[in-house]
Amino acid sequence: MSQAGWYPDPYGSGSLRWWDGQSWTQHMNPQPPIPQPQQQPAQQQPAVQQQPVQPAPQQPAHQQPQQYQQPYGHGWTQQPQPSTPPVDATVRGLHLHADELVISYGNTSLAWTHVEWIAYWAASVPGGHGQRPGTQWIFQVGRNPFHGGPRVEVVIDSGTATGGGAGGSSDPERLWQRLVELCHRNVEQRLVAELAGSVRAGESIDVAQGLTVHPGGVRGNRVSLSWSAISGAVLENGRVWIQQSSGSASVLYVPQQNPNAVLIPALLAAVKR
């Protein structure tokens, strides 16, 4: 493994660890600061831990990569987006293609209809060992099980993508956005409908490896909220935060990089509807 980048932590933390091309570093992803709701009297509690909400200490850039906030994951619940042109690009020396039916990268491909989990996020890359700081845009789709099942994983670095297909651009962030747009239209609506249908039928489902959605509400490791106590969920600072309708100073959250975490806002809205 000579290519620097974010990879599953070999030390078993469940997060991603930065490989600088020669050795594992101390940089973990994600570790964003806890957001402060602007108009919500309710603070919130992590799905894996209950604690008062306090401002997170500022970490030096060389110690902690900052995860970028981005609005994708529930935009399709508003106005339908126009058709996205096919994607044809070269990323890290491999051909990337995506259209309304399939996504393929190198020798791996998946039809959108076969996708069972999704994850996408953007993260800063720490500099060091002759490498400049930059940004990575990560896009993953796959079939269960999450560990070991077939998947397509695309990691786009600044300046590594060329081409883009009809109407496309070689801009790496825009290329990533077009993959997300195709995922919105061809995967997310179906997955949300399937998951919400299971909950309405009386089942409990695990979402994002840290949150259980059930007919009575949601629960994490030490926190449980009924549907009447939930006002919604938002994507912010690399995490999916579940908002409470009460004045409790606690939060529920899961990292955005977890499988199907970006579906949580639309899923909760669909079940509560």
Q: CB neighbours (10 Å) of residue 241?
A: 25
Confidence of residue 159 (pLDDT cuts 50, 70, 90): low
Confidence of residue 144 (pLDDT cuts 50, 70, 90): very high
Highest-confidence range of 4-8, 80-84, 108-112, 227-231, by mean pLDDT? 108-112
Domain total for the chain?
Answer: 1
231 within domain boundaries: yes
Alpha carbon dihedral 16, 21, 23, 28, in 10-degree steps, equals -20
The structure tokens listed for 249 are 């100073």
Helices (H), ranges, 132-263: 172-183, 189-200
Alpha carbon dihedral 87, 147, 10, 257, in 10-degree steps, equals 50
Q: Each residue of 20-42: pLDDT tens digit?
A: 777 777 676 754 444 454 454 44
Residue 165 domain boundaries: 5-56+67-272
DSSP 3-state assignment of 239?
Answer: strand
Decide if pLDDT at 61 tops 70. Answer: no
Confidence of residue 64 (pLDDT cuts 50, 70, 90): very low
How big is the chain by its Cα radius of gyration, in Å?
19
- Between 264-272 and 189-200, two packed helices, what is the crossing angle to 10 degrees? 40
230 within domain boundaries: yes
Is the backbone peptide bond immediately before 145 cis, with ω within 30 degrees of 0?
yes
The answer for residues whose C-beta is within 8 angstroms of residue 15's C-beta and 6 or more apart is 9, 28, 29, 30, 31, 255, 257
Confidence of residue 151 (pLDDT cuts 50, 70, 90): very high
The mean pLDDT value for 125-153 works out to 87
Confidence of residue 141 (pLDDT cuts 50, 70, 90): very high
The structure tokens listed for 101 are 């039916």
Per-residue pLDDT at 160: 67
Report the C-alpha gap between 237 and 83 in whole angstroms: 29
236 within domain boundaries: yes
Sign of the alpha-carbon dihedral angle for 166, 171, 175, 181:
negative
61 within domain boundaries: no
The structure tokens listed for 67 are 């995860």
The structure tokens listed for 147 are 């560990």
Q: What angle do CA 144, 146, 149 make, to 5 degrees?
A: 60
Confidence of residue 1 (pLDDT cuts 50, 70, 90): low
62 within domain boundaries: no
13 within domain boundaries: yes
Decide if pLDDT at 129 tops 60. Answer: yes
127 within domain boundaries: yes
How far is the first Cα of the chain from the last one, in angstroms, to the nearest whole number? 47
260 within domain boundaries: yes
Decide if pLDDT at 78 tops 50. Answer: no
The mean pLDDT value for 146-161 works out to 87
Confidence of residue 13 (pLDDT cuts 50, 70, 90): low
Report the C-alpha gap between 68 and 237 in whole angstroms: 6
Confidence of residue 164 (pLDDT cuts 50, 70, 90): low
Confidence of residue 247 (pLDDT cuts 50, 70, 90): low
